[in-house]
Structure 1
Amino acid sequence: MDKISRENYQFPKNFWWGSAASGPQTEGAADSDGKKPNIYDYWYSIEPGSFHNEVGPEHTSDFYHRYKQDIQLMKETGHNSFRTSIQWSRLIPDGIGEVNPKAVDFYNSVIDELIANDIEPFMNLYHFDMPMCMQEKGGWESREVIDAYVKFAETCFRLFGDRVKYWFTFNEPIVPVEAGYLYNLHYPKVVDFKRGAQVAHNTIVAHAKAVDVFKKLNIDGKIGIILNLTPSYPRSQEPEDVKAAHIADLFFNRSFLDPVTKGEYPKDLVEILKERELLPAVEPGDLEVIRNNPIDILGVNYYQPRRVKAKEDPVPAGAPFMPEHLFDPYIMPGRKINPHRGWEICEEVIYDIMMDIRDHYDNIPFFISENGMGVEGEGKFRNTEGFIEDDYRIEFIQEHLKWVHKGLQEGANCLGYHLWTFMDNWSWANSYKNRYGLVEVDLKNNLNRTIKKSGRWYKQLSENNGF
């Protein structure tokens, strides 16, 4: 047993231990009690074959009907905090106008139940789930949709802001840009960089306007955003490789991180887009509202690094612009990999992120808002007592937390750690292929819940405030 594994890792007092989830991935009840379709409900209705095993978003993990039981399980797995999201298509089914009273009752009940169990509710407002009626107006390409979102945000703040102290405008806002407007992965499956750039800019404007409303309402709480940061590492220290990594970093990290914290877009990124005539349309007042509304708190989702090298493969003549025209992906020899997800596991990157925030972003208060390991076919790890022995997940969390601990010791302003996710949930095109939960959801047996070994361990982690 080496020295590092015997060390005792203690975390600061009042550190947040918990998990993250989202409404559309857990609630189910997709067409009940007044909820109307979001883009995933619609996409599934027209192309079920695009979803793993053709499992759609209709039932997911049925949190809508079982939230009381689930919140008890959160308590049993050591949660002192939990993030989920309010579904716009449930609360304001037509995108604008009438508020759905049954949705208000549901979200009030969830918030009250969490608080009654000493679990701090963190609430996110947008988790990829554009109401279909708003997508028909152009989604994030439309200024009308920005205004509707800001009204939705204000409605949430007024309804629930007396009890919810931590608010987040968006989860991983770059994902709808990449998956929906660049790489043909999610509906609306547009492949057009300039339209993607417009979606990104309009999302940031919507975010900043929601922050502005929050501040004007004088709510006793903090508001931020959840960003998935994938630090870019060059193949070598050769100038061409270093430049390639810098460009990848601008596109995939700084494009959102800088405007929400520093109030402006990275100048190098603006130059790259300007040269290629790819800048989005910016309306009067946009840059001002972005500049005047920095976040209070940042959520950092970390799963894997991005490794790149100088461009070697020629770009096909006449191909529409993609960020990858300026660098190539690099597969590092000997990397550790999660074979189920195809993602690299590199724990020390979480420390690099913490140092970057400390040194280049005014040491803004932040927390690890997602980190986790998706595994296919977890049933094969079930023991004779009937629960899953997911030692690989415990090890994954520990190895990341060692680096979080180091970052804390070196002055990073990290307030907590949330795992993705509390219980196995439905995922966009992968449905239930990879399981991430501390709690198993048995799809074949009435969605029964069983705490995995990692969930029992997570309670000890929380109770000891370390390991």
Structure 2
Amino acid sequence: MKKFYNFPEGFFWGSASSAEQSEGKGNTGKGKTIWDHWFEIEKNRFFDEVGPDVTSDFFNRYDDDIKLMKELGHNSFRMSLSWARLFPNGDGEVNEKAVEFYNKVIDTFIANEVTPFVNLYHFDMPMAMQEKGGWESKKVVKAYANYTDKCFELFGDRIERWFTFNEPLGPVLGGYMQDFHYPNVIDFKRATQVAFNTILANAKAIRKFKKHNLKSKIGIVLNLSPTYPRSSNKYDLEAAEYCDLFYNRSFLDPCVKGEFPKKLVDTLKKYDQMPEYTKEDLKIIKENTAQILGINYYEPRRAKARDNAVNTKSPFMPEWLFDTYVLPGRKFNQYRGWEIYEKGILDLCNNVKDNYGNIEAFISENGMGVADEARFIENGQINDDYRIEFIKGHLKYIHKAIEEGCNINGYHLWTFIDCWSWMNAYKNRYGLVSLDLKTQKRTVKKSGEFYKLLGKNNGFED
């Protein structure tokens, strides 16, 4: 028997993208980012050698794209501002051409009754700031705080929800642990400094925000994964606890509670991996926490006790304390290698409810990237039933989370139009709308039609 999953009145339906992945360079005199630089020096590491110069050309096509969002059931959209566009050198005087561009974009969203959620940083460090040390540098933290202060001044009268960072764990992992972001360093102690300074930057931005006395709210978007032990064996349980500490609680606790988990701090001290900080830094973090939380969920983490002894001549990594565990018989996205576990989103929401004050939250990213989607064209349209089933599967558990009292007020899919995805470029497609790279033509996929009804009906039948 079919059931209709109805969501609360005022629920936010939409999608998300970022400046670097959608805008293209434009003609405002945008400064170079670390992605522009890395693409220049190592083009071979980007799929099909496609860089960030054009992407989906939102810079020139935002008016039509926003109208299409509205048509496809969106009442909201999470965008990001480009620090390098507004401040080509990272600091100094704001670029008035960039201000004009973002004013037009924000006003167009509002005119189309699509509420813009604005994120201030999405992996796109201005190269001028990276040359000063990136997130390892307190000078860059200060410049970022000044950049956010200017954004609140310029756009704060029209924005209801602000976010300081998207997935701050990403640049830590990619840039300083796993070699998939610039500056391609393998050094965990430097990684902890980057993480700490990013958390401090988040707090300083929130402190700036408070001074403006805006009616809006500010928070952070974190990529969270429920962490499951292989078994109830005490060693597996301990392994999962360490995994959770490093990859979830390292950001979640200080950004929402204002303090770091004691066991994480003790572990960093034990292995001589502590960042440099001051008591004043800790005070700022304690006093300036998120008012709202964006939850990006793609896959769970599974951990087990290590099978082998650690090679102490290798660089320290959290995986010294656990092994990742692949669940036999798991459902997974073969194109991305990620496990698909819909119930994980319920477990995440309940964790936030039970352990983080049931902070106001929304699902800020969830999506499915698939390669070679042209295989699925029928009558000129991509028939992506797999994406529709993926969305429905997660929404059922979000609906259950809300029924159980979780303070979840929206769902944003990644993403609206197939976007440029860092090193993967356009290898995997995530959009409700397909993009022809040669012509920039947009074509609504079957999932886009489903999403239109989802927004219109404030729910779905299954």
Structure 1 length as normaliser, TM-score?
A: 0.98
Give the equivalent residue in structure 2 for 1:48. Answer: 43
Give the equivalent residue in structure 2 for 1:250. Answer: 245
Asked whether 1:28 is paired with 2:39, we answer no
Shift of 1:314: 2.2
From 154, 158, 162, the counterpart of 1:163:
158
From 451, 455, 460, the counterpart of 1:462:
455
Inter-partner Cα distance in structure 2 for 1:364 and 1:190:
35
Asked whether 1:172 is paired with 2:167, we answer yes
- Alignment deviations for residues 69-98 of structure 1 (CA, whole Å, 9 cap, x no partner): 100110111000000100000001011111
Give the SS at the match of 2:191.
Answer: helix
- Alignment deviations for residues 270-306 of structure 1 (CA, whole Å, 9 cap, x no partner): 0100111111001231000000011110000000001
From 129, 133, 138, the counterpart of 2:128:
133
Inter-partner Cα distance in structure 1 for 2:241 and 2:388:
33
Inter-partner Cα distance in structure 2 for 1:150 and 1:17:
30
Inter-partner Cα distance in structure 2 for 1:383 and 1:448:
17
Give the equivalent residue in structure 2 for 1:154. Answer: 149
From 313, 319, 322, the counterpart of 1:324:
319
One-letter code aligned to 1:342: G
Give the SS at the match of 1:402.
Answer: helix
Asked whether 1:415 is paired with 2:409, we answer yes
One-letter code aligned to 1:37: K
Task: Mark the runs of 5 or more structure 1 residues left unpaired by the alignment.
Answer: none
Point out 4+ residue stretches in structure 1 off by more than 4 angstroms: none
Give the equivalent residue in structure 2 for 1:71. Answer: 66
From 270, 276, 281, the counterpart of 2:265:
270
Shift of 1:101: 1.1
Give the equivalent residue in structure 1 for 2:446. Answer: 453
Asked whether 1:95 is paired with 2:90, we answer yes
Give the equivalent residue in structure 1 for 2:222. Answer: 227
Task: Mark the runs of 5 or more structure 2 residues left unpaired by the alignment.
Answer: none
Structure 2 length as normaliser, TM-score?
A: 0.99
Inter-partner Cα distance in structure 2 for 1:382 and 1:144:
51
- Alignment deviations for residues 249-271 of structure 1 (CA, whole Å, 9 cap, x no partner): 00000000000111000111001
Give the equivalent residue in structure 1 for 2:333. Answer: 338
Give the equivalent residue in structure 1 for 2:9. Answer: 13
Inter-partner Cα distance in structure 2 for 1:119 and 1:238:
49
Shift of 1:42: 0.4
Shift of 1:33: 1.9
One-letter code aligned to 1:426: W
Give the SS at the match of 2:221.
Answer: strand
One-letter code aligned to 1:184: D
CA RMSD of aligned residues (A): 0.8
Is the 1:263–1:291 contact (alpha carbons within 8 Å) kept by the matching residues of 2?
yes
From 309, 313, 316, the counterpart of 1:314:
309
Shift of 1:317: 3.5
Give the equivalent residue in structure 1 for 2:212. Answer: 217
Is the 1:313–1:328 contact (alpha carbons within 8 Å) kept by the matching residues of 2?
no
Map 1:184-199 to 2 at 5 A: 184-199=179-194
Shift of 1:110: 0.6
Inter-partner Cα distance in structure 2 for 1:380 and 1:276:
50
